[in-house]
Structure 1
Amino acid sequence: MGVPAALCLAWALALGCAHPLAPPKAEAAAEGPPRGTEPPSNDNDTALAELCQDEGGFDAATLTENGTMVFFRGPEVWESAPGGGSLRSRPLAASWPELGGRVDAALRLRHQEQESLFLFQGEQVWAYAGGRLLPGFPRRIEEEFPGVPGGVDAAVECDPEECGGEMALFFKGDTVFAFDVGLRVTKPRAWPGPGPCGAALRWLGRFFCLRGPRFWRFRPPAGDLPPGYPRDLREFFIPCPGRWHGHGNASWGAAGERCSPEPFQALLSDDDGHIHAFRGNVSFRLDWRRDGLHAWPLAQAWPGLEGEVGAAFAWDGRSYLIQGSRVSAFLPGRGPRRVLGYPRPLRQELGVDSADAAFTCPGSAELFLIAGDRVRRVDLRESPRRAGEPLPLPHEGVDAAMCTREGVVLFRGPSYHQYPSVGQLLGARQPAPPRSIAADFFQCPQ
């Protein structure tokens, strides 16, 4: 399996940040286009302006199977548009003609490697996979989700690391029904949280309860609320002129365009398998493909950083970002936290003054620092650390590098070169064949 197949590409939201770039569309099925790919209506700008002016909310919200964020409202559905910075609307019946009316709740759910989209209406539920209605649907909700009542207000998926098991949470009034997908058992409990949810959304590892034009972030399954809420949907999820926090996307230029040929200055595969790409003043999260591919302002994704990241690597549960002659260390979590005492001089930390690229491989304490057409080894267990003698590379220059269980990847301009191991990289006399970063990592058309 090659690197593109091994890297399930995306990022983790720290709300208060700018709105992300929209995710790419999945490829169309052979039988026809998937649901949700119809073009926007001609009066989309007028409809969006009206949406920004009123105090109404959404009936349901979810992510589709391809990571597109969608909001249901009456006879219409709104979705994030390619290129970011806008929502587009279309008639609900154009994509889901079987429903014949407004949606009460929406739920994307994965079970046994199958991803399905469930749409709820009254006592019934419709299920779609690959954009197609599954056989046997619609069904009564209690048949598909035993113990869950009809007429639910909202629904959202919850992974084992968040809820202790593979769960779906259903909201109705002041009660939340936790449905265990594996055991097919439902446990109701009081929902203290922010009160009744008109819609619910799980996005990039965080949970949101939507009611009217406002939203609350909550921690499942109990519904604990972090400070700073409620917030206005029109400032974070709806691109309303003069209000939306994502209006700064245009200032990113080519750095924020996922299909841009602009080179990346650094890539990082951390100890948890999360993959980050750094370009200009933007950081991409590339391993959370289910929630789309997103770019974030560097200073908001990595608190305290200013300027560009020139190289990055991970070791012993920390991520290290090199900027010129200094290095910063971050601890993982829902939002990275800079380790006290950093940044430090690179010479003091690693025994070198600069690096064009850096990488460590999973389970190894050996760091490789690249400068020009040479690479040096550093044993991270040593104190003080020293860089070994320069070894030749089959490349004149490298912009970025990373190592996963699938091998070493070197990035240069719009292309990358893959090597099965460090040994094969160091023993190569010619560069490995170039492949497209945009096509393989961001699913851009060639």
Structure 2
Amino acid sequence: MRVLTTALCLAWALALACAHPLIHSKQQAAGGGHPHGAETPGNDTGESPRQREGGRVTDLAQLCADESGFDATTLSENGTMLFFRGEEVWESSWRDPRPHVRPLHTSWPELSGPVDAALRLPLRQHPGHSHGLYLFQGEQVWAYADGQLLPGFPRRVEDEFPGVPGGLDAAVECPAEECGGESILFFKGDEVWAFDVSLRVTKPRVWPGLGPCGAALRWLERFYCLRGTGFQRFHPLTGPLSPARTRDLRDYFIPCPGRGHGQGNASWGDAGEPCSQMPFQALLSDDTGRIYAFRGNLSFRLDSLRDGLHAWPVGQSWPGLEGEVDAAFAWEGRSYLIQGSQVSAFLSGQGHRPVLGYPRPLQDELGVPSADAAFTCPGSAQLYLISGSSIRTVDLSQTPRWAGPAVPLPHDAVDGAMCTSDGVFLFHGPRFARYDGVGELLAAREPAALGSISARFLGCPQ
């Protein structure tokens, strides 16, 4: 079984970075833009000596035994995970999860030696570029867009980010919707600073209990402080979560045999691969704009291509839920997941907190025994339930709720359904049919033209 191919995108990046036992050391830059003078031995291929000697090392036992940490970590402009260690950078993309390691200077020739911190930021002041990559080293910072060094860089850290010292340990971006204004969090020892990007003001944060961070990462709206093989989640406004828990990367993000979360990764098979063409049993577009797809006992985020596509067991994202999801819909800040004759409800915000009183029998909640697919459209209280080749309507604003008469559909079977501002989508196998709206769907006598789910929603090659 292709164990590594089924791991999470983040798991890949962490696993790859752990595949070689390198010495972890954050050296302080002593002036100059290139404080670390050691150069990787030259070669025409850009490969590191280890690659030439033995090829890519993916021995799971070796990477699971590695205790090393990282100098810096971030997502690139196109969603590739980047992990920096010493003179090298490791990368992994869900589109190409094979191990990739290269000398730092092959991608950023202006740099050599360890990177102290890294982050990805929107480049609103640079037309033509959506996001840029900032790399910190000693007292200086380099900014890149589309692989090219931006004019005026490198600059002193304090000149680019007033009030922020050099010699940082970690940095991570914080979007406006999560920090009350677009911000950057900087870490140095036990000290934390929040830099307001618009106001260009730096304020200290007092977060006892978080401790030094060797690297920091924002991933799918969650924030992580990394130390060695351990990590701790924190909130960007209040600091460490209570109770503070340090967890081992190898139990969550590295598919180590017999260990925690990683043990599940090894059994996902093609279900964990976004582009595997396996069907999704349910899809959900919630009130926050997030889109989820359910396959087996896994769920994917489909609206987060810039952060990669990642499979998680449903119980990790939807607390208390186990097994396959048959249908899903959202209404008034809640997400409803149907499993057989039961329906569970969760608050649609971050964390998916379960709603008290659920799960409930689907018959009591909606007046139907089961459903193959379900969807609501933005701003509407009408729920549409599909079973076999027919569709029924439920007015969610009414109590009690009861399904109306069945109306035939031009589809013999449907795995899942979803309604967004782009239209109504019905999914079956690896294909989907799109309709401009519910009216067009209900009036259709023949199925709409079919498209590829993986190409349209997952960005997979045709």
TM-score normalised over the length of structure 2: 0.83
2: CA distance, partners of 1:262 / 1:213: 33
Question: Mean alpha-carbon deviation: is it higher for 267-276 or for 72-81?
Answer: 72-81
> 1:229 is matched with which residue?
245
Query: Cα deviation per residue 1:13-48 (whole Å; 9 max; x = unaligned)?
Result: xxxxx96246999xxxxxxxxxxx989935432787
Match of 1:161 in 2: 177
Q: Which amino acid aligns with 2:342?
A: R
Q: What does residue 3 of structure 1 align with? A: none
Residues 193 and 218 in structure 1, CA contact (< 8 A), matched pair in contact too: no
Whichever residue aligns with residue 206 of structure 1, its letter is R
Which residue does the alignment assign to 1:107?
Answer: 119
Letter in 2 for 1:426: L
The answer to whether structure 1 residue 128 and structure 2 residue 144 are counterparts is: yes
Q: Is the 8 A contact 1:411 1:417 kept in 2?
A: yes
Stretch deviating more after TM superposition (328-337 or 314-323): 328-337
Q: C-alpha displacement at 1:84, in angstroms? A: 8.8
Could you say what the CA RMSD is over the residues aligned between the two structures, in angstroms? 2.8
Q: Which amino acid aligns with 1:288?
A: S
Distance 1:273 1:131 in 2: 30
Q: How does 1:128-277 map to 2 (within 5 A)?
A: 128-240=144-256, 242-243=258-259, 245-277=261-293
Secondary structure of 2:455's counterpart equals helix
- What is the CA distance between 1:351 and its match in structure 2? 1.2
1:393 aligned residue (386, 406, 409): 409
Q: What is the match of residue 332 of structure 1?
A: 348
Aligned residue runs from structure 1 range 348-387, under 5 A: 348-387=364-403
Which of 1 and 2 has higher RCO (CA within 8 Å, sep 6+)?
A: 1
Native 8 Å contact 1:81 1:87 kept in 2: no
Supply the distance in 2 between the matched residues of 1:256 and 1:212 (Cα, whole angstroms): 27
> How many residues align structurally?
418
Conserved? CA contact 2:388–2:414, under 8 Å: yes
Distance apart, 1:289 and its partner CA: 2.5
- Kept in 2, the 8 Å contact 1:24–1:293? The answer is no
1:85–1:132 distance in 2 versus 1, CA, 3 Å = closer
Shift of 1:131: 2.5
1:20 equivalent to 2:36? Answer no
Greater shift after overlay, 350-359 or 205-214? 205-214
Q: 1:117 offset after TM fit, Å?
A: 0.7
SS across alignment from 1:45: coil
Indicate if the aligned counterparts of 2:250 and 2:262 stay in contact, CA closer than 8 A: no
Q: Is 1:59 equivalent to 2:71 in the alignment?
A: yes
Query: Counterparts of 2:94 and 2:417 in 1: how far apart (Å)?
Result: 28
Q: What amino acid does structure 2 have at the position aligned with 1:109?
A: L
> Which residue of structure 2 aligns with residue 79 of structure 1?
91
Paired AA for residue 44 in structure 1:
R
Contact map agreement 1:85 1:247 (CA 8 A) in 2: no
Question: In 2 relative to 1, CA 287–149 (structure 1 residues): closer, same or farther, beyond 3 Å?
Answer: same
Q: Compared with structure 1, are the counterparts of its residues 22 and 190 closer, same or farther at alpha carbon in structure 2 (3 Å cutoff)?
A: closer
Q: Which residue of 2 is the match for residue 13 of structure 1?
A: none
Query: Retained in 2: the 8 A contact 1:171–1:177?
Result: yes
Specify the code of the residue in structure 2 equivalent to 1:20: L
Q: Whole-Å Cα distance in 2 between the matches of residues 225 and 186 of structure 1? A: 23
Residue 237 of structure 1, CA deviation: 3.7
Q: 2-side partners of 1:43 and 1:404: how far apart? A: 46
Higher alpha-carbon deviation: 265-274 or 203-212: 203-212
